[in-house]
């Protein structure tokens, strides 16, 4: 099981490393989103500072969508989905491997965006344990839910437009929890943020368990 | 001896269209069977059904002793299927693709290496991205991936498509060797002359049903390229 998880995650990360889509497209897109938010709210610096946690997580979600769509685009391009079904890889291992790869990409993007908000929004980053725990749990939650809904949309011709419609409402709890936790961390009151970290951790665990159980049947329909 | 493929009144749908409308077929172990018929006759659907990639919507079906309705996953692990699409990752090299698919199928790196050598992929093409390969070269990689997993049942949909003459001969030789080693082969191809030289039987599909099932004369079936 763990061998297959590592095999799938390694394959997805190798594809991303070779194609450079994350570095050349999703990363610059993430920075661009932050810049546009800054342009929109610049006249009132107070609003920008206050909205930083929310804007940060909206940027993470938008970039996450791209990473998730990309993770399934490589599978459907030349019929690899069928080949995966023919392989001996357990669907749960496939789900966890793809989730791990997306989460790893999200962690890199989240780190890039942290630098972005520090530079562009003059945000003073603090409460590092809470910040780190929030980034990790939210990234795993986004990746888990995204991989589950990604396979649901993978077999459809309208997958590129359908996935955001399906996924963004589902990820609203992550947006709320991660934003609240970041607000507490940046305000210097991390104790107020840890319950929200718990919320994010529960979300991530629910989707990891549900994804491991449901990925197989959904892959059959893809 | 129990047939490797046993279909009775098998029905498979493509959307709502019955691509197979009651197929009866039995294939014995070690047999090479040619499936022929006009475009849209249901040849590819039959192969996909036998691979466990399409659900059985009517009738009964067993492949390698497993029920297609209840144990399709068990079937899929034991068959080698080559379809119209290669199932390769364009961003990865030939070597990385073959290594991944070998490991994913429970084969080891040595199996992948042997398959690469058999298809002449261990030279200058080894580290080339699949995206840079021609259609024929991609087909060779897909065939090598199939060979590496050493399946009990080979399901080949137009295996000669886009291949040069030498590689077509190689495919025929590998099919015959696999059958001699006990594997069963079901192949759909428009290369009837080549297929007749390998196959022991020819099954003709028209409109999703079997219209003829005839033995190929032994003199023709015994030819080896």
Min Cα–Cα distance to chain B from A8, Å? 9
Q: Are strands B58-63 and B184-188 parallel, antiparallel or unpaired?
A: unpaired
Residue of higher predicted confidence among B224 and B126:
B126
User: Which of A27-31, A191-195, A204-208 shows the lowest per-residue confidence on average (mean pLDDT)?
Assistant: A27-31
DSSP 8-state secondary structure symbol assigned to residue B182: T
Residue B168 structure tokens: 């077509």
Q: What is the reported pLDDT for A154?
A: 76
User: Which of A16-30, A58-72, A91-105, B57-71 shows the lowest per-residue confidence on average (mean pLDDT)?
Assistant: A16-30
Measured between its terminal Cα atoms, the distance across chain A in Å is 22
Does residue B1 surpass a pLDDT of 80?
Answer: no
Q: Which residues of A touch B (CB under 8 A)?
A: 4, 7, 11, 14-15, 18-19, 74, 77-80, 82-89
Q: What is the reported pLDDT for B225?
A: 46
Average pLDDT of the segment spanning B134-141: 90
Residue A97 structure tokens: 């491997």
Yes or no, beta carbons of B106 and A88 under 8 Å apart: yes
User: Which of A134-148, A191-205, B116-130 shows the lowest per-residue confidence on average (mean pLDDT)?
Assistant: B116-130
The residues with which B81 forms a beta bridge, in sequence order, are B155
Query: Which of A46, A65, A13 has the alpha carbon at shortest distance from A174?
Result: A65
Yes or no, beta carbons of B103 and A83 under 8 Å apart: no
| Mean pLDDT rounded to a whole number for chain A | 90
Query: For B180-197, what is each residue's pLDDT tens digit?
Result: 888 999 999 888 888 888
Q: What is the reported pLDDT for B155?
A: 96
Average pLDDT of the segment spanning B135-164: 90
Contact with chain A for residue B154, Cβ under 8 A: no
Alpha carbon distance B146, A88 (integer Å): 13
Contact with chain A for residue B204, Cβ under 8 A: no
Query: For B85-107, what is each residue's pLDDT tens digit?
Result: 999 999 999 999 999 999 999 88
Measured between its terminal Cα atoms, the distance across chain B in Å is 29
Query: For A39-68, what is each residue's pLDDT tens digit?
Result: 888 766 678 888 899 999 999 999 999 999
Half-sphere exposure of A72 (CA within 13 A, CB side): 25
Size (chain B), residues: 225
Q: What is the reported pLDDT for B217?
A: 76
Does residue B54 surpass a pLDDT of 80?
Answer: yes
| Mean pLDDT rounded to a whole number for chain B | 89
Min Cα–Cα distance to chain B from A58, Å? 30
Question: Looking at A78-190, which runs of residues are DSSP E strands?
Answer: none
Best of B104, B146, B155, B157 to disrupt the A interface by mutation (most A CBs within 10 Å)? Answer: B104
Average pLDDT of the segment spanning B150-179: 88
Average pLDDT of the segment spanning A148-171: 84
Does residue A125 surpass a pLDDT of 50?
Answer: yes
ipTM above 0.85, yes or no: yes
Query: For A63-108, what is each residue's pLDDT tens digit?
Result: 999 999 999 888 888 888 899 999 989 999 999 999 999 999 999 9
Alpha carbon distance B183, B38 (integer Å): 27
Query: Using 50, 70 and 90 to split pLDDT, how confident is the model at B219?
Result: low
Residues 6+ apart with CB under 8 A from A131: A114, A125, A182, A185
Q: What is the reported pLDDT for B218?
A: 66
Pick the CATH number of B5-221 from 3.30.70.1350, 3.40.50.300, 3.40.190.10, 3.90.550.10: 3.40.50.300
DSSP 8-state secondary structure symbol assigned to residue B87: -
H or E segment and range at residue B74 = helix B72-78
Q: What is the reported pLDDT for A7?
A: 95
Q: Where are the domains of chain A?
A: 2-221
> DSSP assignment of chain B, as one string?
---SEEEEEEEEEETTEEEEEEEEEEE-TT-EEEEE-STTSSHHHHHHHHTT-S---EEEEEETTEETTT-HHHHHHHEEEE-SS----TTSBHHHHHHHHHHHTT--HHHHHHHHHHTT-SSTTTTSBGGGS-HHHHHHHHHHHHHHT--SEEEEESTTTT--HHHHHHHHHHHHHHHHTT-EEEEE-S-HHHHHHH-SEEEEEETTEEEEEEEPPHHHHT---
Q: What is the reported pLDDT for A16?
A: 92
Query: For B9-18, what is each residue's pLDDT tens digit?
Result: 999 998 889 9
Average pLDDT of the segment spanning A180-188: 93
Q: What is the reported pLDDT for A197?
A: 96
């Amino acid at each position: 099981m763990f061998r297959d998880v590592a095999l799938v995650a390694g394959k997805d990360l190798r594809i991303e490393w070779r194609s450079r889509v994350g570095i050349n497209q999703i990363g610059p897109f993430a920075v661009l989103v932050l810049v546009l938010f800054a342009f929109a709210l610049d006249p009132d610096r107070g609003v920008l500072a206050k909205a930083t946690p929310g804007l940060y997580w909206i940027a993470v979600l938008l970039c996450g969508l791209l990473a998730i769509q990309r993770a399934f685009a490589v599978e459907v391009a030349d019929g690899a989905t069928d080949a995966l079904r023919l392989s001996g890889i357990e669907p749960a291992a496939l789900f966890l491997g793809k989730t791990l790869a997306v989460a790893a990409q999200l962690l890199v993007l989240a780190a890039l965006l942290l630098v972005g908000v520090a530079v562009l929004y003059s945000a003073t980053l603090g409460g590092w344990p809470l910040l780190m725990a929030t980034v990790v749990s939210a990234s795993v939650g986004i990746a888990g839910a995204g991989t589950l809904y990604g396979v649901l949309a993978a077999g459809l011709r309208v997958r590129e437009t359908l996935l955001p419609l399906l996924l963004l409402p589902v990820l609203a709890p992550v947006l709320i929890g991660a934003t609240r936790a970041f607000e507490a961390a940046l305000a210097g009151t991390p104790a107020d943020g840890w319950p929200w970290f718990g919320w994010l951790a529960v979300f991530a665990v629910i989707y990891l368990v549900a994804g491991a159980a449901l990925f197989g049947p959904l892959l059959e329909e893809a | 001896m129990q047939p490797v493929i046993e279909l009775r009144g098998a029905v498979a749908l493509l959307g709502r269209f019955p691509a197979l409308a009651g197929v009866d077929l039995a294939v014995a172990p070690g047999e090479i069977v040619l499936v022929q018929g006009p475009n849209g006759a249901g040849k590819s659907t039959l192969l996909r059904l036998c691979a466990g990639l399409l659900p059985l919507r009517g009738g009964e079906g067993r492949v390698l002793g497993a029920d297609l309705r209840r144990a399709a996953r068990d079937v899929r692990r034991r068959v080698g299927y080559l379809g119209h699409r290669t199932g390769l990752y364009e961003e990865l090299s030939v070597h990385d693709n073959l290594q991944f698919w070998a490991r994913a199928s429970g084969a080891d790196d040595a199996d992948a290496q042997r398959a690469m050598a058999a298809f002449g992929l261990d030279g200058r093409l080894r580290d080339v991205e699949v995206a840079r390969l021609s259609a024929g070269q991609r087909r060779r990689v897909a065939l090598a991936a199939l060979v590496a997993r050493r399946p009990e049942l080979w399901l080949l949909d137009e295996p000669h498509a886009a291949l040069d003459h030498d590689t077509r001969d190689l495919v025929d030789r590998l099919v015959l060797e696999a059958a001699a080693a006990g594997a069963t082969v079901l192949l759909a191809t428009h290369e009837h002359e080549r297929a007749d030289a390998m196959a022991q039987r020819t099954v003709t599909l028209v409109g999703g049903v079997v219209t003829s099932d005839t033995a190929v004369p032994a003199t023709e079936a015994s030819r080896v390229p």
